[in-house]
Structure 1
């Protein structure tokens, strides 16, 4: 009996569980560029181009490996427009009565496949190091699900940076060494770039024609679109940027969109790279003496620690997780997030970079755009949708916990022990954004004061009932309480004025 093997655009791995279950002699691989997946949120054009190009090249590699592939391009006249529709169309063509697929990374798509009018068997996604069962067993009975402790278990499981049963370097975490402000000069100048070939060029033309109204710049397009290219990009990072990655991983610098970051998360998240091989390459650089422990440990922690952890949280917490709003924040997302005019240099830099590259690093996401959204009381659902739309590495399993949990505290503390909020001082310390900004980061109130400064205290004041007893926030509230009453009134009035401008569409 013939079956259909579904391969999604973020499952471009020859080791995919659905392919391992299939039979090249009798089964047909189904791959499809469909409008439903490209528009359920308005994805960045670069993201669409990356996924479609990589899909086309992966389909060709499958055919070279002996698979029969039924591939639908977006502009095929027979394209059904949805994943389920394409499966039904191919089932009618082939006579297949069953679909085998690897679990998608979104509850939305899992639900569609579970209720599809054709027998569908969903297999576990073993491209990850921790299965759902393994994460559930780790989480069972714990009062707090903190990533650090899960990360240690993953280090023990993989043996990465371990010396027997002890962590290499004598400690699990070297994060305190990785908080240096931006240096004066950055070399090399970003990730390895690839010139578009004919396949990529065809996709770029398609994306220009179909998604011209989506936020962000399509060109220049330089992403890796095959496994071989992704491996080249990884090797380039390991050799040229990893040695300094740790020192400056939290730094932000105008005119430097990438600093020493790897920019391999899009390749990991669509399947071109595997997490263990990426970590082993970094570990090898440490063993060879080519990269220091703080850089290598920090890099590995982002992958086998944070990446695996947020996936575990997403599936553990269930389908409603991405819609949580425990702080009951309801303000609409301001125009600045879509490139609207702003006087805030940090927001202009982070959003401008996002538009150009479909990329911003974790501190830009957490402490600039995320911090501002949280302080301003923006609806976390709108914030979450924005991150899902604008970043090339954003798929809901990874994006929702990072935004709903870590960035917006909308899950009420499942991930973070306190909200990640700060005044302008943090951004000033870690970047050069504040130099030349229309606002003065040193000014706390009055005309010209940095909006982060007043919104910070406004946030603490309006959420006092929830956070005043939080042990990690006590000092903040004691500082607020020591201010005289008139000063507190001024701070809150100035913050209200900023929020009123946001509500009325004025430039902030």
Structure 2
């Protein structure tokens, strides 16, 4: 374009690989970044998330200026209500004749921006976000004609396409595509968890933290514990530390639940990938190199790469494939109100309390805490799907709707009629006991199903099976469970369901 263009960079697009910046001309074009009320408040975002994005945006603006770009930056305390208003003002300042935007990751915002051209009176060009490894067209082509859209088969195609963890013949290293079965070890404090370094807050980050504490006093998030990287170089340093000190044990304990550490051996990079501080392919290649150089097991490397190359790309594809009606799905018609203690963590269920409080305070929980502790409870209890999804979107630092909605509605709540998951991820307290050491500090006994000391997950599990057995009977993977339930003594079934009713009436109060 020969005329001046205003290039809008969103808070989750903070990368020089962002398509709106790739061909920009610093001497001619202007770049807009804006901290706006609408985006910061549409759910009660965790304060760690707001602080991360605002600080990263300010640092990225400085990096743009260092490269000679003319930057228009609108901070939150200027009171800009929306991105459209920020763009309108910036067009006047820059005298640009067109607006260029990389397509947002959320359906809500993309729909808004698609209406801007008539509202702003200049051409608005939306470009696909090429920082993802599977374009939306690629995913649609893969999905076309398939009866089931299972991640495993998508993941294999992505491995082949990017030639990751393949041998000289193009076959998977070790002879298998998936080593998930090797990565399910429970936690009994049998390995020392390395102390993970925090990133020191600089002047910009300290100013942002003060702003967030002042402007968002009621949001979750203990900013005394803020420890996140806000630049690409610091995010890379954090990832380098993971590869050197934690990757070795990541595979074995990625499903483990621990009293000792919120971080365990996890990468803690999803938030950096999701806002542009790290790029997905380089981190996958770095982990592959670590394996080839003998620094971790093949199972650990494959498990990590599957999450980034497979799962992350897959859920984005599912989101755009199924929206907008996807957000309205609710397989089990789950309508029970989200308990108020989901916002405090004040429950006697030790595993759930720990996962909730960690999520609220730090904006972080690993995938098993999200899926098999919090999500599993929400599924078993029949908590309102929309309310649960909004809670997940609000609480986690890495949560953007494109990744949050399929993970929560599809995987955790099985609310999409099995589009993503071949069966509901429902489990009793025995699973949680097997995966960690929370139960030893809990007042409830995972070996009991009914009675005052019985783990609520147990009766709620069978209560869920009983009330949805017509649907579950049609699922081949649930046949043994349903058959076993029906063979139980009728009085036994009635007692368990009655105790489940009591739990729903008391624990959810």
Normalising by the smaller structure, the TM-score range is over 0.9
| 1:64-79 equivalences in 2 (<5 Å) | 64-76=66-78, 79=79
Structure 2 distance, partners of 1:227, 1:190, is: 22
Provide the secondary structure at the position in 2 that maps to 1:75: helix
- Whether the 8 Å CA contact 1:191–1:262 is kept in 2: the answer is no
Matched residue, 1:43: 45
Tell me whether 1:151 sits opposite 2:162 in the alignment: no
- Whether the 8 Å CA contact 2:194–2:246 is kept in 1: the answer is no
Matched residue, 1:95: 95
Matched residue, 2:16: 14
Matched residue, 1:392: 397
Provide the secondary structure at the position in 2 that maps to 1:71: strand
Deviation at 1:463, TM superposition (A): 1.0
Matched residue, 1:426: 431
Deviation at 1:190, TM superposition (A): 4.9
Q: Return the match for 2:315 from 300, 303, 310.
A: 310
Deviation at 1:171, TM superposition (A): 0.8
Tell me whether 1:359 sits opposite 2:364 in the alignment: yes
Structure 2 distance, partners of 1:324, 1:309, is: 19
| 1:457-496 equivalences in 2 (<5 Å) | 457-496=462-501
Q: Structure 1 length as normaliser, TM-score?
A: 0.97
Structure 2 distance, partners of 1:96, 1:186, is: 58
| 1:125-204 equivalences in 2 (<5 Å) | 125-163=129-167, 164-204=169-209
Q: Which stretch of the first structure deviates more once superposed, 29-38 or 183-192?
A: 183-192
| 1:429-468 equivalences in 2 (<5 Å) | 429-468=434-473
Deviation at 1:131, TM superposition (A): 0.4
Tell me the alpha carbon deviations over residues 62-88 of structure 1, each in whole angstroms, 9 at most, x when there is no partner.
Answer: 111111110011012xx4221111001
Matched residue, 1:291: 296
Q: Structure 2 length as normaliser, TM-score?
A: 0.97
- Whether the 8 Å CA contact 1:186–1:259 is kept in 2: the answer is no
Matched residue, 1:346: 351
- Whether the 8 Å CA contact 2:188–2:436 is kept in 1: the answer is no
Matched residue, 2:217: 212
Provide the secondary structure at the position in 2 that maps to 1:166: coil
Provide the secondary structure at the position in 2 that maps to 1:162: coil
Provide the secondary structure at the position in 1 that maps to 2:77: coil
Provide the secondary structure at the position in 2 that maps to 1:219: helix
Matched residue, 1:268: 273
Deviation at 1:185, TM superposition (A): 4.5
Tell me the alpha carbon deviations over residues 409-444 of structure 1, each in whole angstroms, 9 at most, x when there is no partner.
Answer: 111111001110001000000011111311111011
Tell me the alpha carbon deviations over residues 70-124 of structure 1, each in whole angstroms, 9 at most, x when there is no partner.
Answer: 0011012xx4221111001111222223210111110010011011112311101
Structure 2 distance, partners of 1:324, 1:121, is: 31
- Whether the 8 Å CA contact 1:454–1:495 is kept in 2: the answer is yes
Provide the secondary structure at the position in 2 that maps to 1:69: strand
| 1:96-135 equivalences in 2 (<5 Å) | 96-116=96-116, 117-118=119-120, 119-135=123-139
Deviation at 1:255, TM superposition (A): 2.8
Structure 1 distance, partners of 2:333, 2:45, is: 26
Q: Return the match for 1:376 from 358, 370, 381.
A: 381
Structure 2 distance, partners of 1:111, 1:488, is: 49
Structure 2 distance, partners of 1:468, 1:190, is: 47
Which runs of no fewer than 5 residues in structure 1 stay unpaired? none
Structure 2 distance, partners of 1:330, 1:493, is: 20
Provide the secondary structure at the position in 2 that maps to 1:89: helix
